[in-house]
A and B are shown apart, each in its own frame.
Chain A
Amino acid sequence: MIALRKNLNIAQFQSLIALFVLCLGLALTTDNFLTADNFWNVMRQISVNVCISVGMTLVVLTAGIDLSVGSILAFCGAVTAGLLRSGISIPSANLFIGFTVLGAVLAGMLLGGGLGFVNGYAVTRFKVPPFVATLAMLTMARGFTMLWTKGHPITGLGESFGFLGTGWFLGIPMPVWISGFVVLVAVVLTGKTKFGRYIYAIGGNENAARLSGIPISKVKIWVYSLAGLLAAVGGVLVTARLDSAQPNAGMSYELDAIAAVVIGGTSLSGGRGTILGTVLGAVIIGVLNNGLILLDVSPFWQQVIKGIVILLAVVIDKSNQKSE
């Protein structure tokens, strides 16, 4: 515990305790919480939010915000599904391009990165506030999703694609492998690379970062692109799990991601926070969701309780900062 305390900040330590208490309470009050089935169920459910939240953390660390991740998730999921099902055909050139699972997934991710790039470009080149730039993307990407799917789900995507969402490998569900890999890369990226250090410096003091020779625009564009790419990964996972791309997938997922980031102790004004904190935040939200369902709490109350938890997390974080 002491060793753990050394490697975590106060906020994360408190979150960890909160999570522990939460799990203990649920274990005592429900029959099903402490079962392997339920454990993997929760883990699978939070995988998507973990992917998105990691991208969100990067953006928030630069003192930005990305509201478009839910829509990007839907659009990229739909495009991946569409390419898998019917490829691209250009009748006038008598051309048809079919897609393997890998090809379709990569195309979806590339699209996500591209949409994120547009966000980053708008923020840096045209100085559009991140809130507005990504709000515009939220609307546009949702519109594109509707256009692409014509408002209907795209289904029947094949077993090998479905494996990404529902399959198991070495006793662990595929979405958990994938989100775990994302977390691992992000932890190394933020903690061990120049790029990561630049992110913290920009969020901590953009002026000082600029005068230290840090390429502000380049770093920000990369960060938004990564957030878009990770939203696309989330889109692939959601689509694969349901074997269907829903036009209204990912609605308000950006809010869950922001909640995870905030509960994890990342400051919305930038420069302070960690990937592991966010993962912790996502786990807390996931366990809370799961527990409230197991306890048969009405969905309306679930929302109220989640809101209170978010508020509480920020209030506690603020008082931590003051006492530092």
Chain B
Amino acid sequence: MAALLEVKDITKRFSGVTALSAVNLSLEGGRVTALIGENGAGKSTLLKIMSGVYTDYEGQILFKGSEVKFTRPKDAQDLGISIIHQELNLIPHLSVAQNIFLGRELLNALGFLDKSQMIRKTKTLLERLKLDVDPTALVGSLKVGQQQIVEIAKALLVESEVVFMDEPTSAIGESEVEVLFEIIERLKAEGKAIVYISHKLDELFAMADDLVVLRDGKIVGEGPVSQISRAQLINMMAGREVKVVKKTSRSACPETVLEVKNLHLFNPENSARPLLDDISFTLCKGEVLGIYGLMGAGRTELCESLFGLHSKALKGSIRLDGEDCQFKSPIQAIAAGMALVPEDRKRDGIVPGMSVGKNLSLTVLEKVSELGFLSDRLHSKLYDKHTSSLKIKSSGEHQAIKNLSGGNQQKVILGKWIERNPKVLMLDEPTRGIDVNAKSEIYELISKLSAEGISILVISSEIPEILAISDRILVMAEGKLTAEFASGEATENNIMNACIPENLPQ
């Protein structure tokens, strides 16, 4: 059968970083293709190129055999290519029907909105999707899972030939997943091509016809799902050409610094699936503990909980240096010796308009004060100390931090915590979006700090990184701890194995 949609030699670069290199993919009608890979492997990028979101790329897109060039998402939509995004693109203050018909409202003979017809059509659509909500209900009043179905309904309103689904089940419950699968079956029977991205491999095995595995922007394996075993898949996802430098394991634990017991974090969107589910672990003095998990595994929530950010929804015990701690705010956590370098540097890390020097001193203003007033001299001293020890490249302490590279911004954030000499330093994806050089400098810094006795918790979604820096590795999946490895025992395969649920067909 001829391909409905085909991409040839697609390459996409983001300011120097290659996100996709020479990817070929061919989608046939009546088949479900599952796209899998680690975070950052290029899945979403590929989808965005095929649906007209990214318009500058190298390579060709063929639709039913003839080349197409999308200049905006609407061009792709007009051809019958629709995408269901991972993030919800709904307007909470509008009704279900208003959302579904947004941008393609039906008009009556007088040119006014034909509300009754839109509501009627929405009703039929929702019945098809077995979603029992009133078309006039506000989207904001629906549960997240229901909103996801509305998002799907929106995509189904237009007669599409190709449907992309980017993690459509990340927010919905079991019964809704079943409905979604039924819809996918029906779309398949109607001869449509479907591309499905999910981290839940059991879903993919249950539903996909073909698997395509992406790693580092390249396709590393593909074939009919019936011919690929779980073990092979894990191999494909994890295997790398790059030699992994492994850290030698530490033997003893001189002193427990942090002890976490039975930590539960309530999930306001789905009370049956807590964000953290019975997490217990210890962190030794001077240890680097790596936490690996796919997106949504609860890693970030764990760090935030330890930092006093979710105190109202949190149950369980946290002991720091043997003392019970229930931090109600970051202020208390910091005072007790915790530090957090957040995942999203731009959103939570830097104060972009402030200078490098002022960002650096933000956590230690007492130290740069004299007689209660901030001192320029002490600011400069602090700046000089950290720029030389952390090799921060900036044109001076008064340069705005937003003009530094990602790596240098990250070093500034590290610096502001190092200056506090914390007991526990939590690093959430410390090298995301950072160039190779800065990366290795940050690795060196981590091992230096741990040698000085600081206990470090590192979250990462890159296995080589976790292997390179951790003394011990914890793996999380769906809010639970699923495995623990001493660095000597950890391999890419057994880590990957642990972050994928057990109940897969073998």
Residues of A within 8 A of B (CB): 188, 191-194, 196-197, 200-201, 204-205, 207-215, 271-272
Contact = CB atoms under 8 A, between A and B. Distances in A.
Contacts of A197: 358, 361-362, 365, 374
A189 to B, nearest CB: 10
B374 A212 contact: no
Given A193-B373, A194-B369, A213 B348 contact: no
Interface in B337-388: 340, 342, 347-354, 358, 361-363, 365-366, 369, 372-374
A194 B358 CA distance: 11
B318 interface: no
Contacts of B335: 213
Contact of A204 (B330, B354, B369): B354
A212 B363 contact: yes
Contacts of B352: 204-205
Given A191-B374, A197-B362, A205-B348, 14 more contacts: A192-B373, A193-B372, A193-B374, A197-B358, A197-B365, A200-B351, A200-B354, A204-B353, A207-B347, A209-B351, A211-B307, A213-B363, A271-B353, A271-B354
**Complex A-B, nearest 4 residue pairs according to Cβ-Cβ distance, in ascending order:** A204-B351, A213-B334, A205-B351, A207-B348
Interface in B409-456: 416
Contacts of A210: 330
Contacts of A211: 307, 330, 340, 342, 348-349
A215 B349 CA distance: 16
Contacts of A212: 330, 334, 362-363, 416
B107 interface: no
Interface centre among B333, B349, B353 (most CB of A within 10 A): B353
B374 to A, nearest CB: 5
26 contacts: A191-B374, A192-B373, A193-B372, A193-B374, A194-B366, A194-B369, A194-B374, A197-B362, A200-B358, A201-B351, A201-B358, A204-B351, A204-B353, A204-B354, A205-B348, A205-B350, A205-B352, A208-B349, A208-B351, A209-B351, A210-B330, A211-B330, A212-B363, A213-B334, A213-B335, A271-B351
B331 interface: yes
Nearest to B354: A204
A213 B331 contact: yes
Contacts of B307: 211
A207 B372 CA distance: 26
Contact of B365 (A194, A205, A272): A194
A210 B328 CA distance: 12
Given A194-B369, A207-B348, A208-B349, A213 B330 contact: yes
A197 B367 CA distance: 14
B428 to A, nearest CB: 11
Interface of B: 307, 330-331, 333-335, 340, 342, 347-354, 358, 361-363, 365-366, 369, 372-374, 416
Nearest to A207: B348
A13 to B, nearest CB: 16
A256 B472 CA distance: 61
Contacts of B363: 212-213
A209 B329 CA distance: 12
Nearest to A204: B351
A192 B379 CA distance: 11
Given A207-B348, A209-B351, A201 B362 contact: yes
A208 B347 CA distance: 7
B353 A272 contact: yes
Nearest to B332: A213
Contacts of B348: 205, 207-208, 211
B21 to A, nearest CB: 34
B339 to A, nearest CB: 9
A201 to B, nearest CB: 5
B72 to A, nearest CB: 25
Nearest to A201: B351
B223 to A, nearest CB: 44
Contacts of B365: 194, 197
B374 A192 contact: yes
A272 B331 CA distance: 24
Contacts of B362: 197, 201, 208-209, 212, 214
A315 to B, nearest CB: 20
Interface centre among B334, B335, B348, B416 (most CB of A within 10 A): B348
B382 to A, nearest CB: 13
Nearest to A194: B365
A208 B359 CA distance: 10
Nearest to B374: A192
B304 to A, nearest CB: 9
B373 A188 contact: yes
B286 to A, nearest CB: 24
Contacts of A209: 351, 362
A208 B369 CA distance: 21
Contacts of A201: 351, 354, 358, 362
A209 B440 CA distance: 28
Contacts of B372: 193
A251 to B, nearest CB: 34
Contacts of B353: 204, 271-272
Contacts of B374: 191-194, 196-197
A23 B147 CA distance: 61
A214 B361 CA distance: 12
B423 to A, nearest CB: 15
A196 B362 CA distance: 12
Contacts of B330: 210-213
A215 B307 CA distance: 15
B359 to A, nearest CB: 8
Interface centre among A205, A214, A215 (most CB of B within 10 A): A205
Contacts of A191: 374
Contacts of A188: 373
Nearest to A198: B365
Contacts of A207: 347-348
Interface centre among B331, B334, B350 (most CB of A within 10 A): B331
B331 A215 contact: yes
Nearest to A208: B351
Nearest to B338: A213
Contacts of A196: 374
A6 B365 CA distance: 25
Contacts of B349: 208, 211
Contacts of A204: 351-354
A138 B347 CA distance: 34
Nearest to A267: B353
A3 to B, nearest CB: 16
Interface centre among B307, B369, B372, B374 (most CB of A within 10 A): B374
A272 B353 CA distance: 7
A192 B363 CA distance: 16
Nearest to A324: B400
A200 B347 CA distance: 16
A214 B365 CA distance: 11
A210 B342 CA distance: 12
A198 B454 CA distance: 27
A4 to B, nearest CB: 17
Nearest to A271: B353
Contacts of A271: 351, 353-354
